[in-house]
Structure 1
């Protein structure tokens, strides 16, 4: 799995005034929690870019005060006006402690319904899972080769080992819908039979 290294400094002063001062210097305050203790740190906005502005699931290795913490992104806060990154919450990965993470969903294969003239509609791009850190992966793959016209695939159809999927099982992930042209062709074919 892809790991991004972020060099950070320990924050000594906490509070709004200190955070505002850090942001004016181009730094972003952050917190690492979930481990033995909570760590407040700061890093440059550029250091967070590869972790924040991506659709991929990645692990961040944050180096603060000579110590290294393996973390995943938990929450982000952006400025309402400038849309710049304001704060980052990271969750430390502890070997024997389960974590909740949102993993991207990769649909593979060419669906039979698309080959028959249908259109693939993707309704979900990620799944929320609960698992041990060692089972985390970049994405969850799902083969949709057998998906036919007017069929859909739901969360309950996803099979992954060592992970508990937290999304509702009946939510559709993707479906193949009939295109307008295919509907017209079927209607004309039905008229021709009468």
Structure 2
């Protein structure tokens, strides 16, 4: 485990919304650790350090809980939808050498050939990996690929010790021709012609001789 993932966790004795607000006001984050048949442990973690660590997907924390080391995988991050402040973490107990199933994000590099473009059809790939060696992301290159090329999950290179769990036929990246964009020029032209017809009609009315009724 990297040193930056090592955190000191404090056991919590107060619960409820009021207690959680006080914890966050102190720049800390409430969390719960569960799994492997153990009793859930409610802890408080240092806010700034946690925010730096969980920028990477599937972060594993090495927690110091009352002098005892505990590895825990970040399972769920609950954030305030407006302020994006971390409100709570769900952590799962893991052990060294243990295999875990996780969704690893896909990172696309390069540019396709010519005017072709690519779309990411599936943003993450489900794999099984050792808890302390979870890949940060999978790199998929589209450099020089022609339109019509498709990259499936089975074609993504996985590091040693990582096993594909997702359907091998899952479409990850699709290289296609750019779609023509209709700017509505034909409609604008028709509108201009229609407007021209109205103007011409008005001018014709002005040039027409007055009716006999108007002279009476």
Decide: shared fold, TM above 0.5: yes
Whose RCO is larger (CA < 8 A, sep 6+)? 1
Distance in 2 separating the partners of 1:92 and 1:175: 37
DSSP-derived class of the 2:148 partner: coil
Distance in 2 (CA, whole Å) between partners of 1:179 and 1:14 is 54
Q: Give yes or no for the alignment of 1:72 onto 2:73.
A: yes
Higher Rg of the two aligned structures: 2
RMSD: 2.9
Return the alpha-carbon distance in structure 2 between the equivalents of residues 68 and 83 of structure 1: 30
Match of 2:7 in 1: 6
Residue segments in structure 1 that go unaligned for 5+ positions in a row = 182-194
Verify the 8 A CA contact 1:55 1:104 in the aligned structure 2.
no
Q: Does 1:95 align with 2:96?
A: yes
**Equivalent of 2:134 in 125, 133, 136:** 136
The residue that corresponds to 1:39 in the other structure is 41
Contact 2:71–2:94 (Cα < 8 Å) also in 1: yes
Q: What TM-score, normalized by structure 2, do the two folds share?
A: 0.66
Residue 162 of structure 1 deviates from its aligned partner by: 3.9
Point out where structure 2 has 5 or more consecutive residues left out of the alignment: 181-216
Q: Once the two structures are superposed, what CA deviation does each residue of 1:63-86 show, in whole Å capped at 9, x if it has no partner?
A: 221122222211011124433111
Runs of 4 or more, structure 1, over 6 Å off, are: none
TM-score, with structure 1 as normaliser: 0.73
User: Alpha-carbon deviations, 1:112-161, whole Å to 9, x = none?
Assistant: xx223311222333222233325522233345457421121122333535
Task: Confirm or deny: 8 A CA contact 1:71 1:90 kept in the other structure.
Answer: yes
